[in-house]
Amino acid sequence: MKKLFSVLLVFLLCITGGFAQGGQESSSTVAGSSLKRLSIGTAGTAGSLYPMGVAMAETITKHVEGIACTGEATAASVENVRNLTSGKLAMGISQSEIAWLAFNGKGDFEKRKADDLRSLFSTIYSYIQVFALSDSPINSIQDFKGKAIGVGAAGSGGEMAARMILDYYGLSYDDIKPQFIPESEAVSALKDNKIAAFICTHPLKSAALMDLTTSAKVKMISFTDPAFYEAFPFWTRFEIPAGTYANVDSVITVPISRIIMLTSTKAGLSEDEVYRMVKAIWENREEWGSVTASVSKQVVFDTALAELSVPMHPGALTYFREKGFTIDQSLIPPESR
């Protein structure tokens, strides 16, 4: 009977111990030492950001004592910002414009300002691209009026960008038939003539866009108006070379921004922990730098602080200063002044 009681007691301890591990960020004790478990919010599994985040998490786990990190698929920028400010994520990616809007309490973040966000480093570019079929009457954003337009998944960073673009050209969702679908679904919908065009924030020559441009004749809309870039200072003018996509034989001018890696003052991370994680990532780039072509070409040390849109975390600030970077005053966080 005593033996049976002992077995049951061990079983119950195992169960309650398992329940105690729930939650996004937690600590556990392994071999007498505390292990902090962290998550990196990435994006959907189809692009570059998910494999990059997973590989960076593995590098952190391998090289930073006391921390076990995992990369998680998410709905990207807006969801990551929300989970960072609530303390559910330790790190997460965001389009730089979404981070800027959140930090400054602008746009959709007017009632939920997120000035706790802190930059760590820059990653790949996000390209705002607009596609229509080549025989379509659509040649400008104003031509969207009255038509079914793919604007991205509801509440996503891409959808927020689509709204800003429509607003600049004097349109709203009341003027079009907005289709709240992700880019992969928008590609199929355009090929099947279910939508007239779509706006997307995707890397150049992503799998979805290559599928579209190799299986259908398309055209793209250029954003050449200098006033457009004055209205949106977080977007940079970029020229997509002619021939990047099949049948698109002219240079296409588009707005681009950086995808930046963020943390939050609410993430429960010390300055030393952030310093050690950022150091581990950049001093072991060979472990994650070749996960996709975009990451290999664009996530490089020389431009690690390019186009950051919110102040840096003190731990990241210390690391990059040690490496000889000159830090713009706008990136110095209040706690480091």
26 part of a folded domain: no
Domain boundary among 223, 257, 291: 257
Q: What is the distance between the alpha carbons of residues 123 and 94, in angstroms, rounded to a whole number?
A: 10
Please indicate, yes or no, whether residues 75 and 152 belong to a single structural domain of this protein. Answer: no
Place of tokens 């329940």: 19
Q: What is the distance between the alpha carbons of residues 156 and 144, in angstroms, rounded to a whole number?
A: 20
pLDDT at 111 over 60: yes
Please indicate, yes or no, whether residues 135 and 238 belong to a single structural domain of this protein. Answer: yes
* Pair 84, 263: CB distance under 8 Å: yes
* Percentage of the residues of the chain whose pLDDT score is greater than 70: 90
Please indicate, yes or no, whether residues 242 and 151 belong to a single structural domain of this protein. Answer: yes
pLDDT at 6 over 90: no
Please indicate, yes or no, whether residues 119 and 267 belong to a single structural domain of this protein. Answer: yes
Q: Count how many domains the chain has.
A: 2
Helix (H) or strand (E) holding 265: none
Residue type at 50 in one-letter notation: Y
Please indicate, yes or no, whether residues 245 and 331 belong to a single structural domain of this protein. Answer: no
Please indicate, yes or no, whether residues 143 and 195 belong to a single structural domain of this protein. Answer: yes
Please indicate, yes or no, whether residues 150 and 183 belong to a single structural domain of this protein. Answer: yes
Please indicate, yes or no, whether residues 212 and 313 belong to a single structural domain of this protein. Answer: no
pLDDT at 3 over 90: no
pTM score? 0.84
The CATH number given to whatever domain includes residue 159 is 3.40.190.10
pLDDT at 287 over 70: yes
- Of 22-36, 72-86, 160-174, give the lowest mean pLDDT range: 22-36
Q: What is the distance between the alpha carbons of residues 102 and 95, in angstroms, rounded to a whole number?
A: 11
Please indicate, yes or no, whether residues 116 and 142 belong to a single structural domain of this protein. Answer: no
Domain boundary among 198, 231, 257: 257
pLDDT at 93 over 60: yes
Q: What is the pLDDT of residue 12?
A: 41
Domain boundary among 257, 286, 309: 257
Q: What is the pLDDT of residue 254?
A: 98
Q: What is the pLDDT of residue 2?
A: 46
Please indicate, yes or no, whether residues 148 and 213 belong to a single structural domain of this protein. Answer: yes
pLDDT of 244-278, one tens digit each? 999 999 999 999 999 999 999 999 999 999 999 99
Please indicate, yes or no, whether residues 104 and 250 belong to a single structural domain of this protein. Answer: no
**55: domain range?**
34-123+260-336
Q: What is the mean pLDDT of residues 190-217?
A: 93
Q: What is the mean pLDDT of residues 215-227?
A: 97
64 part of a folded domain: yes
24 part of a folded domain: no
Please indicate, yes or no, whether residues 226 and 165 belong to a single structural domain of this protein. Answer: yes
